[in-house]
Amino acid sequence: MNIDEKGFNQDFQFEAPMAPKRTRLQEFWLLFRQNRLAILGLFIFILFFCCAIMGLFITSGPDPLFDPAMIRLQEKLRPPLAKPNLDSLRREEIPCLGFYLMGTDDLGRDVFARMLQGAWVSLTVGFVAVGISVLIGIFMGGVAGYFGQHHIRVDHILMTILLISGAGLVMAHSIRFGAVLLCLTLAYIFYSFFTQNRSGEKSVPSWAKVFRKSAVSVDTLIMRIVDIMLCFPSFFLILTVVALLPASIYNIMIVIGLTSWMGTTRFVRAEFLSLREQDFVAAVKTLGASNFRIIFRHMMPNAIAPVLVSATIGIATAILTEAGLSFLGFGVPPPHATWGNILSDGKNFIFDAPWLTFIPGIAILIVVLSFNLFGEGLRDVLNPKLRERH
Amino acid sequence: MANNNTLISVQDLKVYFRTGHECARAVDGISFEVRKEETVCLVGESGCGKTVSALSILGLIPTPPGEIAGGRILFQGKNLLELDEEDMQKIRGNRIAMVFQEPLTSLNPVFTIEDQIGEAISIHKNVGAKELRDRCIKLLKDVGIPSPVQRLKDYPHQLSGGQRQRVMIAMALACDPDLIIADEPTTALDVTVQAQILRLLKSIQKIRSMSVLYITHDLGVVANIADRVYVMYSGIFTEQGNTAQIFHDARHPYTQGLLASLPSRSKRGKRLYSIPGTVPNPAYKPAGCPFHPRCPHAILTCAKEYPEMCDYGQGHLARCPVLLEGGDGYK
């Protein structure tokens, strides 16, 4: 303690009254909490997440607790909560709960175990596919928004075509011809590197000026690609691609991801177009930040809100798409259960065993609905203009 | 011209903006220099090319519409216009820093103060997390922000305008630059805060022995801080000299008009003078002297001949031959 001669404590300092300090997350949570439906969505989402992760552990491995592939032909089409006939089953065939929580299907497999296994598929498909689409979308949108005014020259386009066709020929075992094209491309790249100088196109002969003409702006190119991608009915595009590729869960994730990035691209581009003109971007530029740093460290966090919202709703769409593909038999190959193929297998017995269709159907409905509610709640919180005034 | 004392010297800089078939000559051949530890003011009304000249020093003119049509910018002997982007990034923020007009929008809303000042340092210098934090605190202290440790975790919207401008100054100071370009840093602030910021800039300049290029339209501010003044009109300098010469012995009719339109105690109750007309469109400048349509002293020659700088001695130059030696400046 530091007491002066008048008896005042010198260490004491007055604290100015301050507004309660909240981080962004706390403020966000305060607003989000008011939306009951969104909270419900979040709750179901977390429940689904836990189920899927738990399901992965108890349905896989050499000796799983719930075996989704265990066939008990004598126990087929048992309704939910039915007790198994203990006499006819071997010891390892008895379900570990002592009854069939969700009944059995036409091969006597435990539907509950299959639903658990399918939950993991839906979860991973949802997240990985949306992850891929968001990454592509952010990249394309960021480039279109930030570098949109830059132009692509004719020679760039020609070289890209050469490169792709060269690679294609090599892949198609016409190695010699493909290699020639690839070498041509490389040679041109080196040539343009060496002739490049800052003052520009002095060293270019006049006939080559055609190749140096700027053809399209980056923005136009990317946004037209987006428009073209949006023209395809994406479900049928996915069907075609999946029919050509070997059926596996990873292919499906990638294909769904590759056909759903357009929305994100448009969002990110629109955000970037307005952010690019903001003063703080100019301020960061004067600090000597590189373009990469400006895009990903300074602009992206400002543009991420709408992306997050569309991603949440995108997860629901991806789950639905995967279920649809599995239902049509193009999805994950049969021994592996997904909600879509449980539904598809069950449709033959819809009058004898309605639970086979209702259980996966309701599960899909609830999960997709919860994602949509959560996404909309998120949008309301992140976009102050849409916030309801009470 | 380029003696050892010169920090940056701009020679005959021309910046044009091409839009469609028009060509706006925003900066049309300006030359100036900033010496070490000196405060130089660029004064002029809106749209006369002040900010464009500042941005072209940093190489931040957007180049599809804009174009540096000529001139040199020598900074410590190097021509900045010849450096490539990578080398320019090493100079921006590190050797030349800039403070912007709008402190409200110049800070990134999603990062804390610590993040942003830290970023300014870590772009150019490789320092550990602990030292980074210490430096941030020191910088905030230097720019006079109370309780800097608590402020570090604040977001820009939690600070007042003056505090935000102080943070911007701290960011500009982060790498101890040789030159600070202040682009109307006090325009968006109220008058008391404005005075504080000016005092702060002055004291920092003295302590750190930096040079300041101060861009403003406010002659009051100029009188307060400048060592030398360049008066800009429509992309060219109309008059240059030290502060006393400009304020007490203005030779160009534009400068005289500007000074006459300042409110002052002796003019109480009278109508303020205003220069008639507006700034010419930079794409369609009048031939001859760009100021002649608004000039009370204009003669016929003014519309034909481009005026040369006339020397009034001791570094005081004005681009008006009419007023030199009783009206026969044109020969």
Give the integer Cα–Cα distance in Å for B222 and B215: 9
pLDDT at A199: 44
Mean per-residue pLDDT of chain A? 81
Instruction: Using CA coordinates, name the residue in chain A closest to B68.
Output: A199
DSSP code at position B231: E
pLDDT at A78: 78
pLDDT surpasses 90 at B25: no
pLDDT at A7: 59
Confidence of residue A195 (pLDDT cuts 50, 70, 90): low
Q: What percent of chain A has pLDDT over 90?
A: 12
CB contact under 8 A, B110 and A282: no
Residues of chain A whose C-beta is under 8 A from some C-beta in B?
19, 21, 24, 149-150, 198, 278-280, 282-290, 293, 297-298, 301-302
Neighbours of B265 (CB within 10 A): 5
CB contact under 8 A, A283 and B107: yes
Give the integer Cα–Cα distance in Å for A195 and B3: 37
Mean per-residue pLDDT of chain B? 84
pLDDT surpasses 60 at A200: no
B contacts of A301 (beta carbons < 8 Å) = 108, 110-111
Mean pLDDT of B58-87: 84
A contacts of B91 (beta carbons < 8 Å) = 288
Q: Domain locations in chain A?
A: 28-69+114-150+218-386, 72-108
CB contact under 8 A, A284 and B168: no
Judged by DSSP in three states, B256 sits in helix
State how far residue A150 is from chain B, nearest Cα, in angstroms.
Answer: 8
pLDDT surpasses 50 at B331: no
Mean pLDDT of B284-299: 84
| A307 touches A138 (CB < 8 A) | yes
Backbone dihedral angles phi then psi of residue A3, each to the nearest 5 degrees: -100, 125
A329: left (phi over 0), alpha (psi -120 to 50) or beta: left
Global confidence as pTM: 0.77
Mean pLDDT of A103-109: 81
Measure CA B233 to chain center. 13
Long-range pairs for A104-107: beta carbons < 8 A, 24 or more residues apart: A104/A72, A104/A75, A104/A76, A104/A77, A104/A78, A105/A76, A105/A77, A105/A342, A105/A345, A105/A346, A105/A349, A105/A353, A105/A356, A106/A76, A106/A77, A106/A345, A106/A348, A106/A349, A106/A353, A106/A356, A107/A71, A107/A72, A107/A73, A107/A76
B contacts of A150 (beta carbons < 8 Å) = 64
State how far residue B95 is from chain A, nearest Cα, in angstroms.
Answer: 10
Nearest to A312, CA basis, from A141, A133, A143: A133
Give the integer Cα–Cα distance in Å for B257 and B246: 12
CB contact under 8 A, B108 and A24: no
CB contact under 8 A, B94 and A288: yes
Give the integer Cα–Cα distance in Å for A339 and A327: 8
Option in B89, B107, B124 nearest A280 (CB): B107
pLDDT digits 0-9 by tens, A330-369? 877 777 888 888 888 888 888 888 888 889 899 989 998 9
pLDDT surpasses 60 at A390: no
Mutation site for B-interface testing, chosen from A153, A280, A291, A293 by largest number of B Cβ within 10 Å: A280
Judged by DSSP in three states, B57 sits in helix
Least confident of A73-82, A333-342, B287-296: A73-82
> Highest-confidence range of A2-11, A114-123, A127-136, B113-122, by mean pLDDT?
A127-136
Instruction: Using CA coordinates, name the residue in chain B closest to A197.
Output: B84
Neighbours of B235 (CB within 10 A): 28
A contacts of B171 (beta carbons < 8 Å) = 283, 287
Mean pLDDT of A45-69: 83
Least confident of A188-202, B225-239, B283-297: A188-202
Confidence of residue A141 (pLDDT cuts 50, 70, 90): very high
Least confident of A110-119, A327-336, B87-96: A327-336
State how far residue A283 is from chain B, nearest Cα, in angstroms.
Answer: 6
Least confident of A209-223, A305-319, B45-59, B126-140: A209-223
State how far residue A315 is from chain B, nearest Cα, in angstroms.
Answer: 26
| A48 touches A367 (CB < 8 A) | yes
User: What dotted CATH number matches A28-69+114-150+218-386?
Assistant: 1.10.3720.10
pLDDT surpasses 90 at A136: yes
Q: What is the 3-state secondary structure (H, E, C) of chain A?
A: CCECCCCCECCCCCCCCCCCCCCHHHHHHHHHCCCHHHHHHHHHHHHHHHHHHHHHHHHCCCCCCCCCCCCCHHHCCCCCCECCCHHHCCHHHCCCCCCECCCECCCCCEHHHHHHHHHHHHHHHHHHHHHHHHHHHHHHHHHHHHCCCCEEEHHHHHHHHHHHHHHHHHHCCCHHHHHHHHHHHHHHHHHHHHHCCCCCHHHCCHHHHHHHCEEEEHHHHHHHHHHHHHHCCHHHHHHHHHHHCCCCHHHHHHHHHHCCCHHHHHHHHHHHHHHCCCHHHHHHHHCCCCHHHHHHHHHHHHHHHHHHHHHHHHHHHHHHHHHHHHHCCCCCCCCCCCHHHHHHHHHHHCCCCCHHHHHHHHHHHHHHHHHHHHHHHHHHHHCHHHCCCC
Alpha helices (H) along chain B: 50-57, 85-91, 113-122, 129-142, 148-151, 161-173, 191-208, 219-225, 243-248, 253-260
pLDDT surpasses 80 at B118: yes
pLDDT at A135: 93
Q: What percent of chain A has pLDDT over 70?
A: 87
pLDDT surpasses 80 at A233: yes
Mean pLDDT of A43-71: 83
A109's tokens: 């497999």
Cα dihedral B269, B274, B276, B282 in deg (nearest 10): -160
Total residues belonging to chain B: 331
pLDDT at B330: 47
Confidence of residue A384 (pLDDT cuts 50, 70, 90): low
Confidence of residue B192 (pLDDT cuts 50, 70, 90): confident
pLDDT digits 0-9 by tens, A264-311? 999 899 999 988 888 888 888 888 888 888 888 888 888 888 888 888
Least confident of A76-85, A227-236, B181-190, B229-238: A76-85
A81's tokens: 């909560």
A189's tokens: 């790249």
pLDDT surpasses 90 at B291: no
